[in-house]
Chain A
Amino acid sequence: MPELYFPWIEVSILIPLIGAAWVHLLGQRDNLLTHAIAFCSLTLALTIGELIDFISLGTFEAHDHWPFLGWIFDPSVFVVDELSVFLIPLTALIFLVVVMSTLGTKAPRFSLRLVLVLESLTLATFSCRASWALVALLIAAAIPAYLELRRRKRCSRIYVLHMVTFAVLLITGYAIESTGVLIPGAMLTAATLLRAGVFPLHLWMTDLFEKGTFGTAILMTTPLVGAYAVMRFVLPIAPEWALQSIAVLSLFTAVYAGSLAIIQREARRMFCYLLLCQSSLILVGLELVTPIGLTGALCLWLSVGLSLTGFGITLRCIEARISRVSLSDYHGLYAQMPMLAGFFLLTGLASIGFPATVGFVGMELLIEGAVEVYPWVGTLVVFAAALSGITVLMAYFRIFTGSENRTLVPMNARPREKVAVLVLTVLIIGGGLVPQPGVTSRYHAASELTKHRKDLSLVQTPPHVELIQRSKKLSQSASD
């Protein structure tokens, strides 16, 4: 397997861990946030380096190996491939902008140590392929949110119940994987769908948004670790009929979440359902297993990661100023925060695939793929997207318009928030105006994934199926 020129993967995983230790050593200082931002920025720079290095290699997969770090990590554990190479910098960016947009006054409630540990775990997860290490990382990544719930003295039963079920299903499914396809496959599917929040296993997500800090909830959900788990554990082994059944379930989740997002009366819950709706659409694309559908899903993954993180941090910025945002009435905050209003609208529109934003092409591809496989049911993707669109603009109107709010307290974006917002804006608009490079790369990854899946299914064809295929071939050649 080709090697990267520098151990980007290991270093980018270690830096946030070192950052967590550093922040712990510093204790309670005023400039703790600045230190955390520095570590997150460094991590992002390393992941971008990893991306550039990987592209320059022109290979499907690569790993890094460095004698100084070889004793910590087994070289075969962390491998970056075309599927994950964009997700790693995206994750680092999500963590950076969330930390950057944290107001100093709210920093004590938001554990930077746990955030940096979570970043390290998430980056490691995206650098791992199906293995026991990935199982361990997926389970470990659920712990920081649990610790936060405990620290905030909130009931964590719902979260724990779901995560324990997830862990048990994942461990058991992976342990018995070699014994067959059906039962282990079903267990792994259930585990990954639970992590992805597919109906009816989504309650842990709404609970986390209710009881956790908004920042942690965003970080736990927007990188779409569940979808990654589906891609690594389910996609290679599941038969086509099973994948298509899961796609229909995901489609139902998208419509269900889109419908519930409209009637929510509080901004966090609305965001949670909007995210569920969009992430379910990504799952639909992944499970179609057609090159177009897969490309659409992978493109949408990047766009949802960018746009919904932007949408989320804007809501979080507003929450940090006025506390929880009710959507039962109009707040009229436009005059106080015009920049955040503009960004809220932009990211919201990008998340629903509005033209000239990063989500547009991905959504088009996804709909094309869905309609190709299910001509009738596929139109539900369009319906779910329409529902999300209604939710986004309704939320915009409720928060920023509809009333005159003449408070003299300054509420506009702070410099750090502005930087976070502008970085995402550039990516959202840039990706929307020049989508071809992203689409080409994602299509290549989708093609490789389809090819790998085909290869694997050839290898794994059960003897009786092989016998039937052979007899069919024989009868065909006889008739010829």
Chain B
Amino acid sequence: MTPLEITFHILGTAVIASPIALLCILGLSSLAGYKLGESVTSRLTQASVWLTSLPTVGIVVLMLATGIRYVPIELGNWVSIPEQHFHFHLKFAFDRLSIPFLLLSCTLCGVVGEFTRRYLHREEGYQRFFLFYAVFFCGMVLSSLASTIETLFVGWEMVGLSSALLVAYFHNRINPVRQAERIWSIYRLSDAALLVAAITMHHMTGEGDFGGLMSSGVWPEGSAAIDSSQALFVGVLILIAAAGKSALFPLSGWLPRAMEGPTPSSAIFYGALSVHLGAYLLLRLSPIIAASLTLQIMVISLGAVSAVCGAIMSRVQSDIKVSLAYASLTQVGVIVVEVGMGLHYLALIHIVGHACLRTMQLLRAPTLLRDVNDLENKIGARLPNETWSDAGHRRPKFGRWWYRFGFERGFMDVTLDTYVVRPFVCVASFCDRIERTITDKISSESSRESDNAELHPEKINRVA
């Protein structure tokens, strides 16, 4: 290894090790029941963000100075069975796609972490927030830098878990928890699609390395090493995964629900990073999309439909966070269209710009009324009250229908509940009833003692 390669390796390893170290410290102290102080927790988080950002900047400077466009960081095989050609390769890559996304993640995580330090000061769940935040940060770094689909999956899962747990941050209330359950369910099913895609890619190309998948060149110049029908199959799975993570149509229903979480997490997840992760995945695997025209059309259509739905829905919301969430969806839809059209750099710039703007808007959301008052005081008059533009220009009946469509959030949740959740629950309940009938018949008494379980035994003074 040359000195330059060694330097790249050290810096790259520091970038990956820093968030993992943060997660270990916060996680183990929490499991051991040791409560770190607020200032220690936030300082550790900031230190971790700096220790990820600075080596990344160092790598960028070195890349610019030497003209290198692609820096792989090989950490060897986490698991391998050489005889079966199975390996879980820990490989990360710094390239034109991962570096901007990583720097964006570090910047926004640092800003939101600093914001949270004051926002959640003396909150009961302060440490819990930062623990989940560390899971998220770790997941984002791994996803951004992943050079194999398995590593991407690890980061992807971590982002999903932290997202669900942070939506349920105010866990004494029932609504945030319910919404978190729903979000987790959608995430799990979309994660399953990504996992199947990963395994399928393994079988098609013999490896999960993005480099092997894009037979030539580094991003965005590579071309897929699979034929168009294979690309279509894998691409559809990836599209499902991306739709789940980025709340694209018809899985957008969870996005307003996610706003039950604290403002900092809403900003970083659903305004900035997590919501763009699906688009990032499509961007990373853009050569596969380019390999199949059908897939390209599907991606463009999905993005366009999501953008239109997001635009309609964001205009009729009465809650500022929900309205901003749908506005994010609109932009993510447009980004997906750009990816489908092969405008990779435009999509990347769009992600960076949109994430920064939306984070700022969401962080200001709690003080919106005060900001409006300030503004009105300064201009000395009321701000003009804008009506919904579409409703004004269309025929009343048609306008009303669109208004209802937006207000009911595109009927997406209702449709999923009616055609997916309810039939599933009906079939499972039917099987459960059959089992009950059989066991009741065999047994000389009621076969289910669990029916007698009290709903809230913890509320009465019967605890041991």
Contacts and interface: CB of A to CB of B under 8 A. Distances in A.
Interface of A: 103, 105-106, 154-155, 157-158, 161, 203, 206-207, 210-211, 256, 259-260, 262-266, 268-269, 291-292, 295, 320-326, 328-334, 336, 338-339, 342-343, 346, 349, 354-356, 361, 364-365, 367-368, 371-372, 375, 379, 382-383, 385-387, 389-390, 393-394, 397, 400-405, 407, 409, 411, 418, 422, 425, 435-436, 439-440, 443, 447
A405 B458 contact: yes
Q: Please tell me the size bucket of the interface on B.
A: 35 or more
Interface stretch (B41-49, B101-109, B269-277, B442-450): B442-450
B81 A404 contact: no
A324 B86 contact: no
A155 B172 contact: no
A289 to B, nearest CB: 14
Contact of A386 (B192, B444, B456, B462): B192
B195 interface: yes
A390 B184 contact: yes
Given A203-B439, A383-B192, A321 B161 contact: no
A418 to B, nearest CB: 8
B177 A397 contact: yes
Contact of B449 (A210, A333, A365): A210
Contacts of A372: 203
Given A210-B448, A401-B171, A342 B454 contact: no
B202 A323 contact: no
Contacts of A331: 456, 458
Interface string B11-32: 0000000000000000000111
A424 to B, nearest CB: 11
A332 B447 contact: no
Nearest to A436: B79
Given A263-B432, A401-B171, A402-B174, A157 B442 contact: yes
Contacts of B458: 321-322, 331, 333, 336, 405, 407
16 contacts: A105-B464, A158-B439, A210-B449, A266-B450, A266-B453, A321-B464, A325-B457, A330-B177, A346-B31, A355-B157, A368-B86, A368-B202, A386-B189, A393-B180, A409-B461, A435-B79
Interface in B407-454: 424-425, 427-429, 431-432, 435, 438-439, 442-445, 447-450, 452-454
Given A210-B450, A386-B192, A390-B185, 17 more contacts: A155-B444, A157-B443, A203-B438, A264-B432, A291-B84, A321-B464, A322-B457, A328-B455, A331-B458, A382-B196, A385-B192, A394-B181, A402-B173, A402-B174, A402-B177, A404-B172, A443-B83
Nearest to A333: B458
A261 B356 CA distance: 42
B432 A324 contact: no
Contacts of A440: 81
A383 B154 CA distance: 18
A367 B202 CA distance: 12
A334 B171 contact: yes
A36 to B, nearest CB: 20
B200 interface: yes
Contacts of A383: 192
Contacts of A263: 425, 428-429, 432
B209 interface: no
Contact of A349 (B31, B161, B185, B438): B161
Contacts of B462: 322-323
Q: Which of B79, B154, B180, B425 has the most CB of A within 10 A?
A: B79
B50 interface: no
B120 to A, nearest CB: 17
Contacts of A367: 195, 199
Contact of A411 (B77, B164, B427, B463): B463
Contacts of B452: 324
Interface string B70-112: 0000000111110110101000000000000000000000000
A38 B424 CA distance: 48
Contacts of A439: 79, 81
B83 A210 contact: no
B171 A206 contact: no
Contacts of B461: 407, 409
A215 to B, nearest CB: 15
B234 interface: no
A325 B185 contact: no
B444 A329 contact: no
Contacts of A264: 432
Contacts of B173: 402
Contacts of B432: 260, 263-264
A342 B121 CA distance: 23
Nearest to B199: A371
Contacts of A105: 464
Q: Which of A103, A292, A326, A401 has the most CB of B within 10 A?
A: A401
B158 interface: yes
Given A206-B435, A402-B171, A435 B463 contact: no
B191 A386 contact: yes
A291 B196 contact: no
Contacts of B184: 389-390, 393-394
A414 B462 CA distance: 18
B29 to A, nearest CB: 11
B188 interface: yes
A356 to B, nearest CB: 7
Given A260-B431, A385-B192, A407-B458, A320 B464 contact: yes
A331 B453 CA distance: 13
A443 B80 CA distance: 10
Interface string B163-201: 010001001111001101100110011011001100110
A333 B200 CA distance: 42
Contacts of B154: 355-356
Nearest to A379: B196
B86 A365 contact: yes
A361 B429 contact: no
Contacts of A106: 464
B188 to A, nearest CB: 4
B338 interface: no
B450 to A, nearest CB: 4
Contacts of B174: 330, 402-403
Nearest to B85: A292
Nearest to B125: A334
B199 A268 contact: no
Q: Which of B178, B424, B428, B452 has the most CB of A within 10 A?
A: B428
Contact of A265 (B199, B438, B450): B450
A66 to B, nearest CB: 37
Contacts of A382: 192, 195-196, 199
B153 interface: yes
A338 B442 CA distance: 41
A435 B88 CA distance: 11
A400 B181 CA distance: 13
B453 A325 contact: yes
A211 B450 CA distance: 9
B78 A435 contact: yes
Contacts of A393: 164, 180-181, 184
A400 B450 CA distance: 19
Contact of B188 (A161, A332, A386, A403): A386
B233 to A, nearest CB: 10
Contacts of A268: 450
A409 B461 CA distance: 8
A210 B464 contact: no
B150 interface: yes
Contacts of A211: 449
